[in-house]
Amino acid sequence: MNHLDRLEAQSVYILREAFNRIEKLAMLWSLGKDSNVMVWLAKKAFFGHVPFPVMHIDTEKKFPEMYAFRDRYAQEWNLSLIADKCPPVEEVDQTLPPAARSAARKTLGLRNAIERYGFNGIIAGIRRDEEAVRSKERVFSPRGESGQWDFRDQPPEFWDYFNTDLPPGTHLRVHPLLHWTEMDIWRYIAREKIPMVELYFARNGKRYRSLGDQDITFPIDSKASTIEEIIIELEQTRAPERAGRAMDRETEDAFERLRAAGYM
């Protein structure tokens, strides 16, 4: 097995474990590259089927290209799509800086959806290499009653034995892409020919490296207009992936606070 085969096998194992052990499971689908890979891996794991709902927590501020992508592939991939809208920004923690506040809407939207559908497992496509706080995550990560994450006292997780039982009122976050890097993601997209939102590919010298809400995501200077060119660009760049995401750097601990409160 080569490196991508190993990554794929590990993710498939995690998804199958989640599906077997967790009663009410849903997968978050942000329409970005990572979650498209995640849906793809689910189809690998379950032999062409995605046997749980795929959930888009809709901030109503995504790019039109992303909505078009969602509607097309929800159908083509035969997904059971949940696309509930987030509550207004006035309902979130007002002490957070502006961009983080916007991201926190998503946390609230997620919490509402969990309550509405009674999910006790949420599959999210975060990766360890994205952000320092995320690098501390577990594959199966328990969340308290209001979705918060206690990073100081995490259960042990080793030899691929995951903590799959949970106290009532809590839920599990499952992270099948935790061990992937941004480069792995693009190489896998290239190998598997996974469809992507065209915003990732350069037009007029600009492309998006990471996709979030329209108002808090910015494109980078780039000439990479194909997957192969993106991979070459990534091999050369030393700028962080989430440089175009305003919420990460407003204050030193903004992202950590978002995560502790239940952000993806």
Partner 1 sequence: MSTERELMRVVIVGHVDHGKSTLVGRLFHDTGSLADGKLEQIKGMCERRGMPFEWAFLMDAFQSERDQGITIDTAQIWFKTPKRDYTIIDAPGHREFIKNMITGAASAEAAIMLIDASQGVQQQSRTHAFLLNLLGIRQIIVVVNKMDLAGCDERTFAAIKAEYVRYLDEIGIVPNFVIPAVARDGDNLVHRSERMGWYQDGTLISALDSFQSQGELRALPLRLPIQDVYKFDDRRILAGRIVSGRLKVGDRLLFSPSNKVARVKTIEAWNAEPPLEAEPGQSIGIITDEQIFIERGEIASHEKAAPIETNVFHGRLFWLGRKPLTRGDTYRLRMLSRDVQVTVERIEAIYDPDSLSQRPAETVERNEIADVVLRSYALLALDEADDNPQTGRFVLSDGANIVAGGTISMRDYPDQRKLVTVRSTNITAVAHRITNTQRVSRNGHKGGVLWFTGLSGAGKSTIAMAVEQELFRRGYQTYVLDGDNVRRGLNSNLSFSPEDRAENIRRVGEVAALFADSGQIVVTAFISPYRSDRRRARAAAKDGFHEIYIKASLETCEKRDPKGLYRRARSGEIAEFTGVTAPYETPDAPELTIDTDRLSVEESVAAVLDYVDRKFRKHS
Instruction: Using the minimum distance from each CB to partner 1, give the nearer residue, 85 or 191.
Output: 191
Q: How far apart are CA 212 and CA 103, in angstroms?
A: 9
CA angle at 25 for the pair 21 and 29, rounded to the nearest 5°? 135
172, β-bridge pairs: 121, 142
Instruction: Using the minimum distance from each CB to partner 1, give the nearer residue, 83 or 231.
Output: 231
* Rounded least distance, CB 24 to partner 1, Å: 17
Burial (CB count within 10 angstroms: exposed 0-12, middle 13-18, buried 19+), residue 240: middle
Interface residue list for partner 1 (CB under 8 A)? 1-6, 8-10, 12-13, 16-17, 19-20, 43-49, 51, 128-129, 132-133, 135-136, 138, 142, 151-152, 154-161, 163, 165-167, 181, 187, 190, 192, 228, 231, 235, 237-240, 252-253, 256
* Rounded least distance, CB 46 to partner 1, Å: 6
* Rounded least distance, CB 47 to partner 1, Å: 5
225 C-beta neighbours (distance < 10 Å), count: 14
* Rounded least distance, CB 16 to partner 1, Å: 5
Instruction: Using the minimum distance from each CB to partner 1, give the nearer residue, 164 or 214.
Output: 164
Instruction: Using the minimum distance from each CB to partner 1, give the nearer residue, 157 or 198.
Output: 157
Q: What is the largest CA-CA distance in the chain?
A: 52
Instruction: Using the minimum distance from each CB to partner 1, give the nearer residue, 21 or 61.
Output: 21
CA 128 to chain CA centroid, Å, is 11
CA angle at 258 for the pair 211 and 96, rounded to the nearest 5°? 100
* Rounded least distance, CB 60 to partner 1, Å: 32
Q: 217: which DSSP letter?
A: B
Q: How far apart are CA 171 and CA 165, in angstroms?
A: 9
* Rounded least distance, CB 43 to partner 1, Å: 6
Instruction: Using the minimum distance from each CB to partner 1, give the nearer residue, 75 or 135.
Output: 135
Q: How far apart are CA 94 and CA 101, in angstroms?
A: 7
